[in-house]
Amino acid sequence: MSTIESVLSETRVFPPSETMVKQANISGMAAYEAMCKEAERDFEGFWAKLARETLLWHKPFTKTLDESNAPFFRWFHDGELNASYNCLDRHLKTQPDKVAILFEADDGKITKATYKDLYHRVCQLANALKGMGVKKGDRVLIYMPMSIEAVCAMQACARIGATHSVVFGGFSAKSVQERVIDAGAIAIITADGQFRGGKEIALKPVIDEAFALGGCDGVTNVIVYQRTGSQVAMQRGRDTWWHDAVKDQPLDCEPTWVDAEHPLFILYTSGSTGKPKGVQHSTGGYLLWAMLTMRWVFDTKPNDVFWCTADVGWVTGHTYVCYGPTAVGTTQVVFEGVPTYPDAGRFWKMIQDHKVNVFYTAPTAIRSLIKAGPDLPKKYDLSSLRILGSVGEPINPEAWMWYYTTVGNSKCPIVDTWWQTETGGHLITPLPGATPLKPGSCTMPLPGIVTDIVDETGNSVGRGKGGILVIKRPWPSMIRTIWGDPERFKKSYYPEDFKGKYYLAGDGASTDEDGYYRIMGRIDDVLNVSGHRLGTMEIESALVANSKLVAEAAVVGRPDDLTGEAVCAFVVLKGARPTGDEALKIAKELREWVTKEIGAIAKPKDIRFGDNLPKTRSGKIMRRLLRSIAKGESITQDVSTLENPAILEQLKQNL
């Protein structure tokens, strides 16, 4: 695990090779610095030029940035375009037969779709959706396995101006139901099931269960893609098989032009309160940044094979699977399975088989693959690799070095990309043909991105110090609002403590003397488990929702070698505090409960039972104390205000 000491003592620097610099889209530090200066000199002009050169506009915009209703910024808002047109139609004349998606199924079966295929499939599904009455501005929930069809589903929505909300296939029926209600979805696109690691996982039955929970009556159509062939219930009048829905549909579908601010998608993510936030993204600004970061950070070249391993249920799968790679016209790999099936060489074999040039994954995957087979990459021919990427959580220098030397053969720059669901795309990251790398640092902000580190009152702490990460100027792909809750948007991201002026990322960070950023982790009650965001309050709410068993619960994170952080729950039961087998049995029950309420990723790794929780006189749970207990640290805090210090001994007992 990365410790503060190992990070602070990091002195290794890895400059890009001359060959890398020479061939790069942004070539050398001077080029990067010139772009930063240009953005500083003429902020709006910088963005306007890029937006005109990069996107295909149906109606050109005249105003670049509207700050009149800050922090509800508007970018290019009087321009009109369509995201799916920008991703597909633009390639029809120039490279219709180029492979857009090379899909590898869990069992290794390969399916390819060219840009022309993808275009026709998107158009047919878009026509089917239209036929079902889905219109511009309607919300469609997508609950799909990794597949060509998942990309089609998202782009078909974009094509007709419907706003999609993808829910990760590992989330529970309850999560689906909550999101259907919050987004006001009128249609759902799903599959019968999916295969992962040789196992079949049901999806449609989860949708049925979500309906059974109630409140989903607004959904009048469910489209079901047949993936596993398992028997599923189809409700007449509501459920349609995908293949039936598209069967007689025309192969073309005129795109619905929307203004640049039109919501392309809503993606739910965890915040510091119990209720997930529907992060709303725009069409124009979002797509612009997806394309620019593909070119700048992944240095996309016409013959590249790009592979981002993220699921489309996360923002990384939105920007760097569905939209970015298609808009820039690259060939990408989409993978259904897991990195360790049939063995821990799967990623390396796929890189070899498909001659992947740019590979983008998460530190948690890297750590698990180091554990499973540190020498495995050497058995494969990974010479096609040019750039490696990392996302989702800080990458510890040890894992960085392994990725760099063993996977990249010490010749591939690692782009450690810091960003969030809310930022739409990379914000702080190295450029492969410019930035000298330091293991564990996401280096410097991209041109046009104005980041800083401030103290609690919003004042800059200066170079070489730590504090709170903020973004001082708006950027095109930023979150526009929280769906249906603009007040929460303002409070969460533009709080008054920072004069309401800076975007608060929710991360702690520091810079070194060279201005290199290091992310220290969340400063709010959000955990990062295997690169997935989870709110501690969300898990607490789920636990206490078990009103038969649970009286009270507090959830904290603790460091974990494999998953970065692990969920640790302190639980007070309604009955007596259980011990021995009884405690194990109830812990198992509670884990299953959380899986049902939220999803398996939120399942507490540790569960500890107490007669009570440590509280202050005013009744506040002393979470800092719980964090120390969870880590196994000795307690140095003042505990004199505790109601009942004896419970600390109980809570120290891990099952």
Q: From the annotation, which residues make up the binding site?
A: 196-199, 316, 392-394, 416-421, 507, 522, 530, 533, 544, 550
Residue ranges for the known binding site for CoA are: 196-199, 316, 530
Region near ligand 6R9 per CB under 6 A, out of 124-132, 166-174, 253-261, 388-396: 388-396
Candidates 297, 319, 34; CA nearest to 166 is 319
Q: What is the DSSP string of 334-351?
A: EE-S-TTSS-TTHHHHHH
Question: Is residue 524 a contact residue for ligand 6R9 (CB under 6 A)?
Answer: no
Cβ at position 115, least distance to ligand 6R9 in Å: 26
Nearer to ligand 6R9, 390 or 406 (CB): 390
Question: Is residue 392 a contact residue for ligand 6R9 (CB under 6 A)?
Answer: yes
Question: Is residue 239 a contact residue for ligand 6R9 (CB under 6 A)?
Answer: no
The residues near 205 (Cβ < 8 Å, ≥ 6 apart) are 232, 233
Cβ at position 569, least distance to ligand 6R9 in Å: 21
Question: Is residue 416 a contact residue for ligand 6R9 (CB under 6 A)?
Answer: yes
Asked whether the beta carbons of 144 and 191 are under 8 A apart, the reply is yes
What sections of 527-612 are H helices per DSSP? 536-544, 580-597
Q: At what angle do helices 43-54 and 284-296 cross, to 10 degrees?
A: 90
Question: Is residue 506 a contact residue for ligand 6R9 (CB under 6 A)?
Answer: yes
Question: Is residue 315 a contact residue for ligand 6R9 (CB under 6 A)?
Answer: yes
Asked whether the beta carbons of 539 and 603 are under 8 A apart, the reply is no
Q: Whole-angstrom Cα distance, residue 418 to residue 430?
A: 10
Helical (H) or strand (E) element with 505: strand 503-511
Choose, by CB under 6 A, the member of 318, 354, 367, 533 that binds ligand 6R9.
533
Question: Is residue 440 a contact residue for ligand 6R9 (CB under 6 A)?
Answer: no
Nearer to ligand 6R9, 314 or 483 (CB): 314
Candidates 485, 462, 460, 482; CA nearest to 470 is 460
Question: Is residue 316 a contact residue for ligand 6R9 (CB under 6 A)?
Answer: yes
Asked whether the beta carbons of 519 and 564 are under 8 A apart, the reply is no
Question: Is residue 299 a contact residue for ligand 6R9 (CB under 6 A)?
Answer: no
Cβ at position 362, least distance to ligand 6R9 in Å: 8
Nearer to ligand 6R9, 84 or 417 (CB): 417
Question: Is residue 565 a contact residue for ligand 6R9 (CB under 6 A)?
Answer: no
User: Which residues ranging from 188 to 207 are in contact with ligand 6R9 (CB under 6 A)?
Assistant: none
Q: Whole-angstrom Cα distance, residue 567 to residue 594?
A: 11
The residues near 74 (Cβ < 8 Å, ≥ 6 apart) are 65, 66, 261
Cβ at position 106, least distance to ligand 6R9 in Å: 24
Question: Is residue 519 a contact residue for ligand 6R9 (CB under 6 A)?
Answer: yes
Cβ at position 29, least distance to ligand 6R9 in Å: 20
Torsion region of 388: left, alpha or beta (phi above 0 gives left; psi -120 to 50 gives alpha): beta
Nearer to ligand 6R9, 369 or 613 (CB): 369
Cβ at position 182, least distance to ligand 6R9 in Å: 18
Question: Is residue 82 a contact residue for ligand 6R9 (CB under 6 A)?
Answer: no
Question: Is residue 507 a contact residue for ligand 6R9 (CB under 6 A)?
Answer: yes
DSSP label of 498: G
Candidates 245, 201, 249, 206; CA nearest to 227 is 201
Coil vs helix vs strand at 145: coil
Asked whether the beta carbons of 100 and 114 are under 8 A apart, the reply is yes
DSSP label of 71: T
List of residues contacting ligand 6R9 (CB under 6 A):
269, 314-316, 390-394, 416-421, 442, 505-507, 519, 522, 528, 531, 533
